Structure 1
Amino acid sequence: MKAHINLLVFGATGATGRYIVEQALAQGYNVTAFARAPTKVSIKHPNLKIHIGDVLDYASVKNAMPGQDVVISLIGDGEKRSTLRADGTRQIMKAMENTGIKRFISTSTLGIGDSRPLLSPLYKYLLVPFILKHAFADHEQQEQYIEASQLDWIIVRPSALNNGLQTGSYRHGFTATEKGLKLKISRADVAAFMLKQVAIDTYLHKKVGISN
């Protein structure tokens, strides 16, 4: 059945987005990778299409929507003073609403909103206030936009990302009082978890943390 499901992936050329594309193709999905620079999409596959566009340009975002079943977003701008996550997400959701696509799976980050108590002291008192301040503010606004939408949304909040192997061994759906988290996870595991949300409703309209 997956061969008949069309996924549109924003942030497809990013560090985690590449895993999404690779794993989705391996699982039999039809994938459209939305990218400003198509040359950054190194994967070649008969079920992969590339849509050239800018996530801040509504017309190019909307033009990517026809025929899609599920939209996955991993957009971001690192630690820069930017509102790309929030502004880009608004364009994506507006296009989805105007084309009738319902399921939206987006990354955020652990430490946003009610998950803040899970952060280590290093993150809570040094990295977030001084280095990640703007990125966290962008994520906060992004989540607010998503929650206010009428879409079938799922927000995935991973802990610190690394390029480790896909293990399938991680915790998810925990509360802000969870103990013993390592607060790190591989991008490959995050990608696999996000793809699982394509077809299940366990975390529909929820913000779900994921971490080792």
Structure 2
Amino acid sequence: MKIEQAKINLLVIGANGGIGRQTVELALSYGHHVTAVLRNPAKLSLTHPNLTIVKGDIMKPDAFEKYLGNQDAVISAIGASGGITGDAPTTLYSQGNAHLIQAMKKMEVKRAFFISASAVEISPVLPFYVRFVAKYILQKLLKYMYADLLRMETLVKESGLNWTIIRPPRLTDKAGTGKYRVSINSFLKNALSISRADVSHFMINNVNNEATYRSTIEIAY
């Protein structure tokens, strides 16, 4: 489902990742102007009149800070490599987004989305077996990533920006539907899965939704 809205300038960091690329493609299809920031621009094989691709690293914001000047919103879709079998100590989420927040304040950009994960906090309204897996398997296998995501969330909440933290459950590569459930600052019952495309759909269609400002969002089918 496409919702008509004013055209915006959107900067996406981590634009070659699962959610990042979906966000870039969907935003362009809506007619928005997108600045895609990634460490290796060659990894984003897209061309579009409204797309600007920038070489940059969130750990080194000086490289892309100047591109923040005319942006209406920023989406931080960064992700640490390694996955569920290669979890390692990281500061990518906390320190990287601290750099981003500092750069946004300097360039006077207020609106931002940050991607976290549902399992950083055990939801009491999930089925028992899901809570068990989250607590005794996921949180142990991904303890470093979740610890840094929690540090990131604290920094974001203290930033003074018009932030939205997205906590998706299991992510899939299925096509977007535009049909999903959302809870704002509360746990979402039976939040088991969501496609990356629909996470992107939610963010793009809620850039100017003040009800989502300074809020943590759970989203699922």
Per the normalisation by structure 2, the TM-score is 0.88
Quick one: which amino acid aligns to residue 58 of structure 1?
P
1 CA distance for matches of 2:163 and 2:138?
29
2 CA distance for matches of 1:89 and 1:153?
12
Quick one: which amino acid aligns to residue 23 of structure 1?
L
1 CA distance for matches of 2:123 and 2:146?
11
Q: Is contact 1:55–1:91 with CA below 8 Å preserved after alignment? A: yes
2 CA distance for matches of 1:152 and 1:29?
20
Instruction: Tell me which residue corresponds to 1:21.
Output: 24
How far residue 61 of structure 1 moved from its aligned partner, in angstroms, is 3.4
Confirm or deny that 1:156 pairs with 2:166: yes
Deviations, residues 30-89 of structure 1 (Å, cap 9, x unaligned): 000001100011111000001111110131131221211111111120443211011110
2 CA distance for matches of 1:120 and 1:185?
17
Instruction: Tell me which residue corresponds to 1:123.
Output: 134
Task: Determine helix, strand or coil for the equivalent of 2:101.
Answer: helix
- Does the C-alpha gap of structure 1 residues 208 and 120 become closer, same or farther in structure 2, counting only changes over 3 Å? same
1 CA distance for matches of 2:138 and 2:165?
22
Alignment partner of 1:2 out of 6, 12, 22: 6
Deviations, residues 116-154 of structure 1 (Å, cap 9, x unaligned): 43453112211212x111111111011000000111111
Task: Determine helix, strand or coil for the equivalent of 2:171.
Answer: strand
Gaps of 5+ in 2: none
2 CA distance for matches of 1:204 and 1:104?
9
Confirm or deny that 1:93 pairs with 2:104: no
Alignment partner of 1:199 out of 189, 200, 208: 208
Alignment partner of 1:134 out of 115, 130, 144: 144
1 CA distance for matches of 2:36 and 2:123?
32
Quick one: which amino acid aligns to residue 132 of structure 1?
L
How far residue 196 of structure 1 moved from its aligned partner, in angstroms, is 1.5
Alignment partner of 2:36 out of 33, 36, 58: 33
Instruction: Tell me which residue corresponds to 1:107.
Output: 115
Quick one: which amino acid aligns to residue 57 of structure 2?
D
Gaps of 5+ in 1: none
Instruction: Tell me which residue corresponds to 1:70.
Output: 73
CA-based RMSD: 1.6
Percent of aligned pairs sharing the same letter: 37
Aligned length: 207
Task: Determine helix, strand or coil for the equivalent of 1:164.
Answer: coil
Q: Is contact 1:61–1:92 with CA below 8 Å preserved after alignment? A: no
2 CA distance for matches of 1:200 and 1:139?
24
2 CA distance for matches of 1:138 and 1:38?
26
Moved more, 135-144 or 166-175: 166-175
2 CA distance for matches of 1:211 and 1:32?
27
Confirm or deny that 1:190 pairs with 2:219: no
